[in-house]
């Protein structure tokens, strides 16, 4: 089937990026959040981010105006029911995601495809709580969405071929590259990335290196664009911990045990850039290591 209208649940870091790329690619987007303030902030951020693309010559002023005109917002989840495709991009908690899909079910069309931008939670389990597991998939964008080229497509055990091919065509229209992943905890990218970040936190916890020396070592010694602790702050330490818990619980292997220091930072509310403190303190002109 051809996708024309897209509903996005959640106007946060991922949701606004998803709305951005879909609108620029010609889709009509309805962006939902529980707060009108969050929606207004998201639209303003999308406007600024596309304007940056205009200033770099990557997008024309006309295309920007057309994209912004394609984005509508609503605080009423039921209004997304008319969409051909719905992408859930809410917080990385399974109970929240299940509640969203349960609230959506009475309002969606027979042909609507449901997807989740989850970075780690079982697609099969999420799909089983809906009336259409065959038209349910994992649709995992990387952060920041407008910049990163990869989209993980994750089929649940019941996902049919038509749904997969439809989303494959959507990824191509977005100008991105799809990687197909099986439905196992954390899929491909986070199955590899998060244990590396967790190991960097253990390296800090055990006193092998400081925040700065660990990040510098990976940037200069492994040619990574960001150090692992800097990257954790960018992702959000609560998200990192949630994914490590999914890996640990789902695969029952001690190598995925979250570092106690990561847990401690999350307990303190030091979640990284979004709270101004994580492994770095962002409240001054320059980020300063907190350990």
Judge if 159 and 279 occupy the same domain: no
Number of domain units in the chain: 2
Sequence-ordered list of residues with C-beta below 8 angstroms from that of 265, at least 6 positions apart, any chain: 237, 271, 278, 279
Q: Is 180 helix (H, G, I), strand (E, B) or coil?
A: strand
The reply to whether 254 and 279 lie within a common domain is: yes
Which residue range(s) make up the domain with 48? 5-181
Under 8 Å CB-to-CB from 85, ≥6 apart: which residues?
Answer: 3, 5, 6, 7, 112, 113, 115, 167, 170
- Give the pair of three-digit tokens for residue 37: 């303030």
Domain edge (last residue) among 181, 201, 231: 181
Catalytic residues: 119, 140, 152, 190
Q: How many CB atoms within 10 Å of residue 114?
A: 26
Clarify whether residues 168 and 219 are in a common domain.
no
Q: Say if residue 271 is in the same domain as residue 220.
A: yes
What CATH number is attached to the domain comprising 141? 3.40.50.720
Rounded to two decimals, the pTM is: 0.90
Residues 176 and 207 occupy one common structural domain: no
- Are residues 216 and 157 both part of a single domain? no
Q: Given this model, what pLDDT does residue 1 score?
A: 83
- The pLDDT assigned to 92 comes to 86
What are the tens digits of pLDDT across the range 216-265?
999 999 999 999 999 999 999 999 999 999 999 999 999 999 999 999 99
Cβ–Cβ contacts within 10 Å for residue 267, how many?
A: 9
Percentage of the chain with pLDDT > 90? 97
Distance of CA 26 to the CA centre of its chain: 21
**What does the alpha-carbon distance between residue 272 and residue 289 come to, in Å, rounded to a whole number?**
11
Q: Are residues 175 and 204 in the same domain?
A: no
User: 159 and 16: one domain?
Assistant: yes
């Amino acid at each position: 089937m051809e996708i024309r209208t897209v509903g996005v649940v959640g106007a946060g870091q991922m949701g606004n990026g998803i709305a951005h790329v879909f609108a620029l690619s010609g889709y009509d987007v309805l962006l939902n959040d529980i707060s009108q303030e969050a929606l207004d902030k998201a639209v303003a951020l999308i406007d600024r981010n596309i304007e940056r693309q205009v200033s770099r010559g990557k997008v024309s002023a006309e295309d920007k105006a057309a994209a912004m005109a394609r984005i509508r917002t609503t605080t009423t989840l039921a209004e997304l029911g008319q969409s051909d495709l719905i992408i859930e991009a809410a917080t990385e908690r399974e109970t929240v995601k299940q509640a969203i899909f349960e609230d959506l079910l009475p309002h969606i069309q027979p042909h609507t495809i449901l997807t989740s931008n989850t970075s780690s939670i079982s697609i099969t389990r999420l799909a089983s709580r809906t009336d259409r597991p065959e038209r349910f998939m994992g649709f995992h964008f990387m952060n920041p969405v407008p910049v990163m080229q990869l989209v993980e497509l994750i089929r649940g055990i019941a996902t049919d071929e038509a749904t997969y091919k439809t989303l494959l065509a959507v990824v191509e229209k977005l100008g991105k590259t799809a990687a197909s992943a099986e439905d196992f905890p954390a899929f491909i990218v986070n199955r590899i990335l998060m244990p590396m970040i967790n190991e960097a936190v253990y390296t800090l916890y055990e006193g092998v290196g400081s925040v700065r020396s660990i990040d510098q070592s990976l940037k200069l010694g492994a040619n990574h664009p960001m150090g692992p602790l800097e990257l954790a702050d960018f992702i959000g330490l609560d998200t990192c911990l949630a994914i490590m818990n999914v890996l640990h619980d789902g695969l029952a292997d001690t190598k995925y045990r979250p570092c106690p220091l990561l847990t401690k930072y999350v307990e303190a509310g030091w979640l990284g850039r979004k709270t101004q403190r994580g492994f770095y303190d962002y409240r001054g002109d320059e980020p300063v290591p907190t350990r």
